Amino acid sequence: MNKRKILIILENKPGALARVVGLFHQRGYNIASLHVDAVEDVSQYSWLENNLSINLKPNEVSEMTISTTVSDTLLTQILRQINKLIDVLYAEEKI
Amino acid sequence: MQALHEESVDLIFGYPGGAALHVYDAVFRQDKIEHILVRHEQGATHAADGYARSTGKPGVVLVTSGPGATNAVTGIATAFMDSIPMVVLSCQVASHLIGTDAFQETDMIGISRPIVKHSFSIENPNEIPRVIKEAFHIATTGRQGPVVIDIPKDMTAPDKKFNYDYPSEVDIRSYKPPVAPSDKQVQRAVDAILASEKPVLYAGGGAISSNASSELIELNKILRAPVTNTLMGLGVYPASDPYFLGMLGMHGTYQANMAMHNADLIIAIGARFDDRITNTPSLFAPNAKIIHLDIDYSSVSKIIEANIALFGEVKNSLNKIISKLNDGSNNHNPEKFIPWLNKIAEWKALHGLNHDLYLDQTDNNMILPQQVVQHVYQETEGNAFVTSDVGQHQMFAAQYYHFDEPRKWINSGSMGTMGFGLPAAMGVKLAHPKEEVVCITGEGSIQMCIQELSTCLQYNLPIKIININNEALGMVKQWQDMNYGGRHSESTYQNSLPNFVELARSFGHEGIKIEKNSDLKEGLRKAFSLKDKLVFVDIYVDPSEHVYPMLVAPNGSLKDIWLGKDKKA
Ligand SMILES: Cc1ncc(C[n+]2csc(CCOP(=O)(O)OP(=O)(O)O)c2C)c(N)n1
Ligand SMILES: [Mg+2]
Please determine, for residue B412, whether its predicted confidence score (pLDDT) is greater than 80: yes
Query: What distance in angstroms lies between residue B442's CA and the mean position of ligand 2's atoms?
Result: 5
Q: Measured between CB atoms, does B114 come within 8 Å of chain A?
A: yes
Please determine, for residue A51, whether its predicted confidence score (pLDDT) is greater than 70: yes
pLDDT digits (tens, 9 = 90+) for B207-257: 999 999 999 999 999 999 999 999 999 999 999 999 999 999 999 999 999
pLDDT digits (tens, 9 = 90+) for B342-353: 999 999 999 999
Mean pLDDT of B526-535: 98
**Closest residue to atom 11 of ligand 1, CA basis:** B473
Per-residue confidence (pLDDT) for residue B161, from 0 to 100: 82
The CATH number given to whatever domain includes residue A83 is: 3.30.70.260
Q: What residue type is B215 in one-letter code?
A: E
| Residue B390 CB–ligand 1 contact under 6 Å | yes
Query: What distance in angstroms lies between residue B496's CA and the mean position of ligand 2's atoms?
Result: 13
Q: How far apart are alpha carbons B569 and B564 in whole angstroms? A: 9
pLDDT digits (tens, 9 = 90+) for B102-113: 999 999 999 999
Q: How far is CA B512 from the centre of its chain?
A: 28
Residues of chain A contacting residue B113, judged by C-beta atoms under 8 Å apart: 15, 18-19, 22
How many CB pairs (< 8 A) connect A and B? Answer: 39
Phi, psi dihedrals of residue A8, rounded to the nearest 5°: -125, 130
**pLDDT-derived band of residue B2, with 50, 70 and 90 as boundaries?**
confident
| Residue B417 CB–ligand 1 contact under 6 Å | yes
pLDDT digits (tens, 9 = 90+) for B271-311: 999 999 999 999 999 999 999 999 999 999 999 999 999 99
Per-residue confidence (pLDDT) for residue A21, from 0 to 100: 95
* Mean pLDDT for all residues in chain B: 96
Q: How far apart are alpha carbons B59 and B70 in whole angstroms? A: 18
Range of the domain at A41: 2-93
The pTM score is 0.97
Residues B430, B459: contact at Cβ < 8 Å? yes
Q: How far apart are alpha carbons B453 and B267 in whole angstroms? A: 42
Q: Is the ipTM here above 0.90?
A: yes
Mean pLDDT of A44-57: 94
Q: How far apart are alpha carbons B286 and B260 in whole angstroms? A: 10
Please determine, for residue B165, whether its predicted confidence score (pLDDT) is greater than 90: no
Residues B3, B62: contact at Cβ < 8 Å? no
Mean pLDDT of A42-59: 94
Nearest Cα residue to B130 out of B163, B90, B160: B163
Exposure of B372 by Cβ count < 10 A (0-12 exposed, 13-18 middle, 19+ buried)? Answer: buried
Give the residue, B514 or B364, on which the prediction is more confident: B514
Could you give the number of structural domains in chain A? Answer: 1
**pLDDT-derived band of residue B514, with 50, 70 and 90 as boundaries?**
very high
Q: What is the 3-state secondary structure (H, E, C) of B223-250?
A: HCCCEEECHHHCCCCCCCCCCEEEECCC
Nearest Cα residue to B254 out of B564, B518, B561: B561
Residues 279-318 in B contacting A (C-alpha not used; CB under 8 Å): 296-298, 301-302, 305
Q: Measured between CB atoms, does B108 come within 8 Å of chain A?
A: no
Please determine, for residue B60, whether its predicted confidence score (pLDDT) is greater than 90: yes
Mean pLDDT of B372-386: 97
Q: Does the beta-carbon distance from B117 to A81 stay under 8 Å?
A: no
Please determine, for residue B427, whether its predicted confidence score (pLDDT) is greater than 80: yes
Residues A27, A19: contact at Cβ < 8 Å? no
Percent of chain B scoring above 90 in pLDDT: 93
Mean pLDDT of A59-84: 94
**pLDDT-derived band of residue B341, with 50, 70 and 90 as boundaries?**
very high
Q: What 8-state DSSP symbol labels residue A62?
A: E
Per-residue confidence (pLDDT) for residue B360, from 0 to 100: 64
Phi, psi dihedrals of residue B179, rounded to the nearest 5°: -105, -55
Give the residue, B469 or B159, on which the prediction is more confident: B469
Q: Measured between CB atoms, does B124 come within 8 Å of chain A?
A: no
Nearest Cα residue to A60 out of A22, A83, A89: A89
Q: How far apart are alpha carbons B452 and B472 in whole angstroms? A: 22
Mean pLDDT of B427-445: 98
Residue A80, min C-alpha distance to chain B (Å)? 5
Q: What is the bridge-based pairing of β-strands A88-93 and A2-11? A: antiparallel
Nearest Cα residue to B205 out of B49, B40, B342: B49
Mean pLDDT of B434-449: 98
